[in-house]
Structure 1
Amino acid sequence: MLDYFALGILIFAGLFLFYGIILLHDIPYEIAVHRNHPHQDAIHATGWVSLFTLHALWPFLWIWAMAYREDRGWGFGDGKSPLSHITQLEQQLAELQGRVERLEISAGKNRQTPAPSNSDGGI
């Protein structure tokens, strides 16, 4: 009876390790899905290939999945989307254009045009 119990434990441990390794290799794919990564399918396929290459690709998959985030894109950023930078630049441009217009108007008012003279100047 004890032999069957030991065999059951061995089978359970083998299945647990088998499914545990598969779940472990799906972690980068799950990260990619959570971050709405544009290369989700490639990360998933490479995870399966990594199972057969003795896990050599798995650390690179983790980095690849973590390198992208939907709100900031690739790499590091300040958390602002590029569109917010564009709107900020458009606001600054509008402010500067208004300032230039005000300066031109005030320069035109301060400029006093000389009255035309009737003298010939005698050249």
Structure 2
Amino acid sequence: MLDYVALGVLIFAAVVLFYGIIVLHDIPYEIAVHRNHPHQDAIHAAGWVSLFTLHALWPFLWIWAMLYREDRGWGFTTGKPGAETDLAQQVAELRKRIELLEGRMSASGSEHKEG
């Protein structure tokens, strides 16, 4: 009787270990889904490949999944959110100033030629 109980416990432990490893390797994919990562499918496929490479890729998948956030993208920008619109406004103001200066120069240049 104890032989069957021991066999049952052994099979149960093997099944739990097998599925536990699979669930563990899906953690980067779940992070990617939660963060709406643009490379979700690649992270999921690489997680399966990591199972067959003795988990060598798994830490890199975790980092890859954690790098992206939907609100800030990859996080490599140094500006604040909305800095692109500020930059566009600055460029428009500089163009106006250049046009004004060019207008002054052409007006003063025509006065010097007439005089």
Instruction: Report the counterpart of residue 53 of structure 2 in structure 1.
Output: 53
| Equivalent position of 2:13 in the other structure | 13
| Structure 2 unmatched runs, 5+ | 98-115
Matching residue of 2:68: 68
Alignment partners' CA distance in 1, 2:91 and 2:17: 61
Report the equivalent of 2:86: 88
1:74 is paired with a residue whose SS is coil
TM-score, normalisation: structure 1: 0.67
Which amino acid letter does the alignment assign opposite residue 84 of structure 2? I
AA matched with 1:50: S
Amino acid at match of 2:85: T
Report the alpha carbon displacement of residue 45 of structure 1 after superposing the two structures with TM.
Answer: 0.2
Consecutive unaligned residues of structure 1, counting only runs of 5 or more, are 101-123
Measured on the aligned residues, the alpha-carbon RMSD in Å equals 2.4
Going from structure 1 to structure 2, the CA distance change for 1:30 and 1:78 (only over 3 Å counts) comes to: farther
Q: CA deviation at 1:80?
A: 4.3
Deviation at 1:87, TM superposition (A): 2.7
Q: Which has the larger helix fraction?
A: 2
Deviation, 1:78, is 6.6
- TM-score computed with the length of structure 2 as normaliser: 0.72
Q: CA–CA distance in 1 between the matches of 2:20 and 2:79?
A: 35
Give the whole-Å Cα distance in 1 for the aligned partners of 2:41 and 2:3. Answer: 44
CA distance in 1, matches of 2:78, 2:24: 31
